[in-house]
Amino acid sequence: MRNGGRCLILNLSLGQNQNGYHGETIDIAAVLRDSVSVAETHSWEIHWLKTENSLRILTLHRASSTAHRKIYLSSGIHGDEPAAPLAMLRLLRENDWPSDAELWICPCLNPSGFPRNTRENAAGDDLNRDYKSLHTPEIRAHVAWLETLPDFDFSIQLHEDWEAKGFYCYELKMDGTPTDPHRVLEAVEAVCPIDHSPEIDGRKNDHGLIRPELNPAERELWPEAFWLVMNKTRLSYTCEAPSDFEMEVRVEALVTAARVLLTTEAQGTQRK
């Protein structure tokens, strides 16, 4: 048995997700309150983006005097992916960030989706397909804020997939920057199964790693990662936990993936 016997639950899908996510939900207002409280303790700058539909989106920023790398993280863009904001809260509590990094964090980009337990926001829009048209108030506010920031060395987006058989991640790389994403999968496998399906969402899956061969400029619907690599960074990771597993497993998978990326990519990337 691995990891003190915890693999007894790790390899067992709950079988709850039929035609959508039907697992445990969270009180997103409480999660955000906790996020703010922890951020205050650790001296983060706290700012709320106001949207045209009277919502507020939390942003956090912190930089040390030695910071020379710039990293962006986000979670909670889909309201039926509760492990992602919980993983971000755990990362904030652990407070184990690269000492030479300036950081920007959005713990929840879809505050109206979580009370409904829906992928979409309260108006029925998938926010993670709106980064080209900017139709929704949430994404207009988010992009307007992002445009005020400097370029990032890389970005990390935390997600879940209700259909996944295990953890997987997308690496979207727009140049020849050397990376080592398989280290993420090796670390995550100690706490969560990896999805080894040959294809996921019609894309080739290399044992948990998807490297899309695409040109975002030719796509009509943009997720957050597309906007980021076209405007703010040349390297983006989207981490997907399998949401038909126990919440503890999903959160630990996302936290583990973020930890490895923050360690390896913060040491090895250079902005272009």
Mean pLDDT, the chain, as a whole number? 93
Whole-angstrom distance, CA of residue 257 vs CA of residue 242: 13
Residues across the chain: 272
β-bridge pairing 56-62 and 209-210: unpaired
pTM: 0.94
CA atoms 42, 36, 146, 222: torsion sign: positive
The domain 22-268 having CATH identifier 3.40.630.10: the answer here is yes
102-127 pLDDT tens trace: 999 999 999 999 999 999 999 999 99
218-268 pLDDT tens trace: 999 999 999 999 999 999 999 999 999 999 999 999 999 999 999 987 655
Number of Cβ atoms within 10 Å of the Cβ of 61:
14
141 φ, ψ (degrees, to nearest 5): -65, -40
**pLDDT band per the 50, 70, 90 thresholds, residue 60:** very high
Q: What is the pLDDT of residue 95?
A: 97
Q: What is the pLDDT of residue 265?
A: 75
Whole-angstrom distance, CA of residue 179 vs CA of residue 153: 12
Q: What is the pLDDT of residue 66?
A: 84
Whole-angstrom distance, CA of residue 127 vs CA of residue 110: 7
**pLDDT band per the 50, 70, 90 thresholds, residue 150:** very high
